[in-house]
């Protein structure tokens, strides 16, 4: 079903409005119902009524809470693409929406690039020239890619094969998380295959460049599809990029592509997959105790999977570990939203509920499935944040990656 067809189910009950964290934080975003289902009638005449839909972050909470199945966030995402098609996409949005291009440029010169990212004067200049907020939580380049590690790594032969989609954040900024993911899967008896892969196109989609986003996701799906056709499961520790392959490419970008279809059926979020294994009695539970208090934040895009909070269930298996479920909805970063000069303050206002819950939790370390959210959490709350797999890796005693 086309997402716009769901619009007829809107009864204007305002439940989405009362949950939207962004309309609470800024009058520039009048709310998901206003800019989405309600403004759609103006857009059908061919031109967007105003720019307010650009202040939607795409977090998707509106769609989750809608009791009538209206695809509000998806309608808004398509409306944003129409807006930028009419007006032309700003250079800044073209740049930050291509993490693999930025990653390839920055990795070989990581020390210099990281020095630039930490230099206050240059960041102020970057804000003036590019519109990337001087204080926004930009990650540092690792200087070595995960792909490079994976090419040298020999995954032991095993009865079961699994495909790992690591996405850009792991590749350029957090290769250690990728190594830990591979080692946790190997520990559970999987032979791990890491096919060559590029960006999934999600940042381009949320910045309104649908044609480029489609090209990226179709290229990625073509690389992964042969494994899916053989019956291999595909896992990702990047919960938003995984969601792109599961659903958003088909639903928001309207991609009708056999590769995307078969990949979407085989796609699992890492925590989802591991907990499903546990349900079958096949997850190793030889965990050493970890005496840690771990506040857990489920990112909006993770909630978009509709699978509950399997990371919490996994953390509960580790002896000694005390996981706390936080109930703040959104950290405010929404991928690239909070990087933008005009949206940084909004993003920090949205995140404040989460940051204060983290500060009050007396936690040792925060857990969160999404990389951009972890960077925002560290920036906003000062608490170190890890992917849940890092805690599993530690509890398995698999050593430092």
Partner 1 sequence: MNEAHGRLVPASYDAVVIGAGLAGLTAALRLAEEGQRVAVLAKGVGATHLAPATIDVLGYDDGPVDSPARTLPEFADANPQHPYRRLSIDLIRASLDWFKACLSDHGYRGGLDQNLLVPTAVGVAKPTALVPETMAAADLRQGGRFIFVGFRGLKDFFPAYLADNLARTPLPGGAAVTTRVVELSPPLGVARDVSATGFARRFEQADFRESVLAELGRHLMPGEIVGFPAVLGLEGARKVWQELETRLGHSVFEVATLPPSVPGIRLYETMTGALRRRGARLVVGTTVAGAEGSGNRLEGVVAHTAGRPLTYRANSFVLATGGFASGGLQLDSSGEVREPVFDLPVAGLPGPEEPRFERGYFDEHAISRAGVAVDASSRPIDGEGTPVYENLHAVGATLSGAVPWREASGNGLSLASGYAAASAILEAS
**Contact set with partner 1 (CB under 8 A):** 13-15, 17-19, 24, 27, 31, 63-69, 160-162, 190, 230-233, 243, 246-247, 264-268, 273, 275-280, 303-310, 312-313, 325, 327
Tokens 């989460």 belong to which residue? 354
Distance separating alpha carbons of residues 196 and 397, to the nearest angstrom: 29
Report the residue number, 64 or 147, with the smaller CB distance to partner 1: 64
Q: Is 293 helix (H, G, I), strand (E, B) or coil?
A: strand
For strands 160-165 and 233-236, give the pairing.
parallel
Query: Least separation, in Å, of the C-beta of 253 and partner 1?
Result: 14
Q: Is 162 helix (H, G, I), strand (E, B) or coil?
A: strand
Q: Are 146 and 178 in contact (CB under 8 A)?
A: yes
Phi (first) and psi of residue 351, to 5 degrees: -75, -15
Query: Least separation, in Å, of the C-beta of 382 and partner 1?
Result: 24
Query: Least separation, in Å, of the C-beta of 5 and partner 1?
Result: 16
Query: Least separation, in Å, of the C-beta of 209 and partner 1?
Result: 22
DSSP letter, residue 6: G
Handedness of CA 68, 297, 132, 146 (dihedral sign): negative
Q: Which tokens in the block code for residue 268?
A: 């699992």
Distance separating alpha carbons of residues 289 and 151, to the nearest angstrom: 33
Report the residue number, 97 or 314, with the smaller CB distance to partner 1: 314
Query: Least separation, in Å, of the C-beta of 327 and partner 1?
Result: 6
Closest CA to 56 of 81, 77, 27: 77
Beta bridge partners of 269: 236
Distance separating alpha carbons of residues 398 and 401, to the nearest angstrom: 8
Q: Which tokens in the block code for residue 159?
A: 């009865």
Distance separating alpha carbons of residues 157 and 253, to the nearest angstrom: 38
Query: Least separation, in Å, of the C-beta of 45 and partner 1?
Result: 23
Report the residue number, 107 or 303, with the smaller CB distance to partner 1: 303
Query: Least separation, in Å, of the C-beta of 104 and partner 1?
Result: 29
């Amino acid at each position: 079903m086309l997402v716009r067809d769901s619009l007829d189910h809107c009864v204007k009950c305002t439940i989405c409005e009362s949950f939207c964290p962004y309309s609470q934080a800024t009058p520039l975003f009048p709310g998901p119902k206003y800019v989405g289902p309600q403004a759609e009638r103006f857009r059908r005449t061919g031109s967007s009524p105003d720019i307010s839909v650009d202040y939607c972050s795409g977090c998707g909470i509106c769609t989750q809470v809608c009791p009538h199945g209206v695809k509000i966030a998806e309608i808004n995402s398509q409306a944003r693409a129409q807006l930028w098609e009419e007006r032309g996409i700003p250079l800044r949005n073209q740049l930050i929406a291509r993490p693999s291009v930025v990653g390839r440029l920055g990795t070989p010169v990581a020390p210099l690039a990281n020095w630039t990212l930490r230099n206050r004067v240059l960041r102020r200049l970057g804000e003036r020239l590019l519109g990337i907020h001087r204080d926004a939580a930009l990650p540092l380049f690792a200087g070595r890619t995960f792909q490079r590690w994976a090419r040298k790594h020999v995954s032991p032969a095993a009865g079961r094969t699994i495909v790992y989609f690591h996405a850009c954040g792991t590749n350029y900024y957090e290769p250690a998380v990728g190594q830990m993911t591979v080692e946790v899967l190997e520990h559970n008896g999987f032979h791990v295959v890491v096919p060559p892969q590029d960006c999934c196109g999600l940042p381009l989609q949320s910045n309104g460049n649908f044609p480029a986003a489609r090209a990226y996701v179709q290229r990625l799906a073509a690389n992964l599809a042969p494994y899916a056709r053989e019956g291999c499961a595909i896992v990702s520790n990047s919960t938003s990029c995984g969601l792109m392959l599961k659903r958003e490419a088909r639903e928001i970008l309207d991609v009708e592509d056999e590769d995307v279809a078969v990949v979407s059926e085989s796609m699992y979020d890492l925590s989802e997959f591991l907990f499903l294994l546990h349900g079958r009695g096949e997850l190793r539970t030889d965990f050493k105790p970890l005496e840690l208090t771990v506040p857990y934040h489920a990112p909006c895009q993770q909630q978009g999977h509709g699978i509950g909070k399997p990371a919490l269930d996994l953390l509960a298996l580790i002896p000694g570990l005390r996981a706390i479920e936080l109930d703040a909805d959104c950290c405010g970063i929404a991928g690239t939203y909070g990087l933008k000069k005009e949206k940084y303050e909004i993003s920090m206002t949205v995140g404040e509920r989460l940051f204060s819950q983290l500060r009050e939790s007396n936690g040792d370390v925060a857990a969160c499935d999404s990389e951009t959210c972890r960077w925002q959490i560290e920036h906003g709350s000062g608490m170190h944040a890890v992917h849940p797999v890092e805690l599993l890796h530690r509890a398995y005693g698999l050593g430092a990656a």
